[in-house]
Amino acid sequence: MAKRGGSPLQKREAATIASKLNAVVAVGGSHDIAKVYWKGYLVTQFGIRRGKKSRHGHIPHALFLSEFKTMALANCTMTTDEYFAELQKKNKLPAIVS
Amino acid sequence: MSYLISQSTSTPFFSGAETSIYSFEHKSFWGNEYNLFEEATQQKNDKQTSVTIISLGFGKRVLLKPMSLRIENVGDDEFIASFPEAGIEMSGDSATEAIQLLKSHLVALFDIYRTESKLGPEPQKQLKILEGYIGEERR
């Protein structure tokens, strides 16, 4: 039985996304955790595995995006502002009264 | 000491070494030895399986009640373990590794969320669910 090749998202893409979203990376024993903040609120997080070639198919779910859009975020065709606008549309950002 | 509560059958999904997640004395990826006490409760098809865990095996955190996880084989060398109730996922090269990483991730998130002063809607929901499952080890 032929199997799919797994997620195209690897550690490099995970690190790129973390950096692009200004995530705070908490270093752990088995893996790191990228904490994504918006206006001081922790709005989401994702795990970054050890190993250059390690697959990160869990990231789209954590970012509330499709795999295609997650790759767009990693490849810079989606901006940080566009990402947070997506989160806003999906009600994943806190309502802040100014 | 190890406990066997379910004898797995060989399937295309959990064949060979993968059957070992069900029960055994496990030497973790981080060198600590602990027992896994798990049972495969449901097998949906050859790519997705549900597993109920009753221990975390990390630090001072314990499970307060059994936790249902889902494991999906998404490629030749990628498995995604998820805790669907809270919407938390983690990948691994094997089903065993994905489960171990997810366990570690859940414990880490539990601690992170509890120390953050401002949580967004999703982390708030996840923390509430995790608090129903994870607690301190009693001495």
**Which residues contact residue A51 at a Cβ distance below 8 angstroms, ignoring those fewer than 6 apart?**
A11
Tell whether A2 lies on the interface with B, counting CB pairs under 8 A.
no
- Our CA-based measurement puts residue B5 at a distance from the nearest CA of chain A, in whole angstroms, of 27
Please report whether residue A98 resides in a domain.
Answer: no
What is the structure's pLDDT at B48?
84
Query: Across the interface, which of B29, B91, B100 has its CB nearest the CB of A58?
Result: B91
Q: Indicate yes or no: CB of A6 within 8 angstroms of CB of B74.
A: yes
Across the beta sheet with A41-49, the strand order is A24-26, A31-38, A41-49
Judged against a pLDDT cut of 60, whether residue B51 lies above it is answered with yes
Work out whether the CA dihedral B116, B100, B98, A27 comes out positive or negative. Answer: positive
> Which residue of B90, B93, B104 is in closest CB contact with A58?
B90
Q: Is residue B52's pLDDT more than 80? A: yes
Query: Would you state the structure tokens that stand for residue B133, as one six-digit string?
Result: 């499952």
pLDDT for res A64: 97
Q: What is the pLDDT of residue B39?
A: 44
Q: CB atoms < 10 A from the CB of B62, how many?
A: 17
Torsion of CA B130, A57, B119, B131, to 10 degrees: 0
Q: Nearest residue of B to residue A56 by CA position?
A: B91
pLDDT tens per residue across span B100-125? 999 999 999 999 999 999 999 999 99
Cβ separation of A61 and B12 shorter than 8 Å?
A: no
**Burial classification of residue B94, based on how many CB atoms lie within 10 Å of its CB (0-12 exposed, 13-18 middle, 19 or more buried):** middle
ipTM of this predicted structure:
0.90
Provide the domain limits for residue A30.
Answer: 11-89
Q: Does residue A94 sit within a domain?
A: no
- Give the whole-number percent of chain B exceeding pLDDT 90: 53
Q: Which of A19-23, B54-58, B132-136 has the lowest mean pLDDT?
A: B54-58
Residue B6 clears pLDDT 70, i.e. is over it = no
Mean predicted lDDT score pLDDT of chain B: 75
- Domain assignment present for A77: yes
Q: Specify the pLDDT at position B16.
A: 37
CA B29 to centroid of chain Cα atoms: 14
The partner residue sitting opposite A56, judged by closest CB among B91, B112, B119, is B91
For chain B, what are the domain ranges? 16-136
Does B136 have pLDDT greater than 80?
yes
Show pLDDT as tens, one digit a residue, over chain A (98 residues): 434 667 889 999 999 999 999 999 999 888 999 999 999 999 999 999 998 889 999 999 999 999 999 999 999 899 999 999 999 999 999 987 66
Residues 6+ apart with CB under 8 A from A73: A17, A20, A21, A63, A65, A83
A92 touches chain B (CB under 8 A): yes
Mean pLDDT to the nearest integer, B22-50: 47
Query: What average pLDDT does the segment B70-99 reach?
Result: 93
Q: Which residues of A touch B86 (CB under 8 A)?
A: none
Q: Is residue A21 part of a domain?
A: yes
**CB distance A39 to A61 below 8 Å:** no
Q: Is residue A95 a part of any domain in this protein?
A: no
Q: What is the rounded average pLDDT of the residues B31-40?
A: 40
How many structural domains are present in chain A?
A: 1
Question: Whats the size of chain A, residue-wise?
Answer: 98
Give the DSSP letter of residue B19: G
User: Is 0.90 topped by the overall pTM?
Assistant: no
Among B75, B116, B122, beta carbon nearest to A4: B75
